[in-house]
Amino acid sequence: MNGLLVLSSYHIQPLLEAKLLGKRSAIISTDLGISQSEISIEGEFVRLPNDLLLSWGQIQEIFEAESSCFIIKDQSIQKIKAYSPTTNRQYSLFPTTHAPTFLLSGLPMHRIKDIDPHQDTLNKINTIKPVIGRVLDTATGLGYTAIEASRTAELVVTIELDPIVLDIAKLNPWSRDLFNNPKIIQVIGDSYEKIREYDNRFFTRIIHDPPMISLAGDLYSGMFYTELARVISNSGKLFHYIGDLHSNSGMRVAKGVRERLLVAGFRRIKNCYNAFGLVASK
């Protein structure tokens, strides 16, 4: 994964500006903003790391595709997207000025309005600090939650329903630690089913960040919450992403979630407006 070159409109712009100014090089990021490289401008081409050449036509195509990330391989560019036969949905990597998010049937899986996906992840993690012991992440996605939790946790178990999502993550430079960190255990399957495989009070922290209720209703059910209550320790904390708690839909979903969490055995449930979710404990 470490040698992959990934570009987006945000990160290709300095090359076009350098060309207009007649410069022979430009500083850009070839890993979606993680690092910077000096790129040589050679007439009709630019020379990327690993001696990969891109034409100005290819660069312009990347620049104009504002909602796409591109992997560069063998002098060709390819949008990072895939169709999943498991869910019959389209996935794609969507760039921001910071860490990218991914789109599920056109819907972003992180908050991107007035915030970036990395900060969105930190807001969620901060609600259950200190993040210690064994952590359950019920929806891997691009792995940002698992990566952040692993910085202080003993172990992180992260569950992903769709292998295609992990294929997208493997092409995302911001997801590298998901595949390199021995403290992170990846599980493929439905969290609704997989959670039954864990012992009582196995986890000290749970981050439950499911897709919206219309896409993953089972993950908002009383039966699933009962399993969450079973596998979390008596002093454990749960973060449950809901959505904007100030919105009518967010308030409506939060009301039902709160009621079902209480029946499942959770207590001390509070709103976390900054993280768009609820925190509960046993």
pLDDT at 1 over 70: no
CA 174, 180, 186 angle in degrees (round to 5)? 95
Q: Please say whether the beta carbons of 101 and 38 come within 8 A.
A: no
Q: 232-241 and 203-208: which strand pairing?
A: parallel
For the chain, domains (ranges, CATH) are 5-79 (no CATH), 111-281 (3.40.50.150)
DSSP 147-188: HHHHTT-SEEEEEES-HHHHHHHHT-GGGHHHHH-TTEEEEE
What is the per-residue pLDDT for 2?
Answer: 54
Tens-place pLDDT, residues 227-254 = 999 999 999 999 999 999 999 999 999 9
What is the per-residue pLDDT for 87?
Answer: 85
Is the whole model's pTM more than 0.75, yes or no?
yes
The kind and range of the H/E element at 193 are helix 191-194
Taking the C-alpha atoms of residue 164 and residue 222, their distance in angstroms, rounded to an integer, is 28
Taking the C-alpha atoms of residue 243 and residue 245, their distance in angstroms, rounded to an integer, is 6
In the sheet with 107-108, reading across from the earlier edge strand, the strands are 81-84, 89-94, 101-104, 107-108
CA dist list (Å): 235 to 123, 130, 224, 231: 21, 12, 19, 12
Tens-place pLDDT, residues 143-188 = 999 999 999 999 999 999 999 999 999 999 999 999 999 999 999 9
Tens-place pLDDT, residues 25-83 = 999 999 999 999 999 999 999 999 988 999 999 999 999 999 999 999 888 999 999 99
Tens-place pLDDT, residues 121-155 = 999 999 999 999 999 999 999 999 999 999 999 99
pLDDT at 3 over 80: no
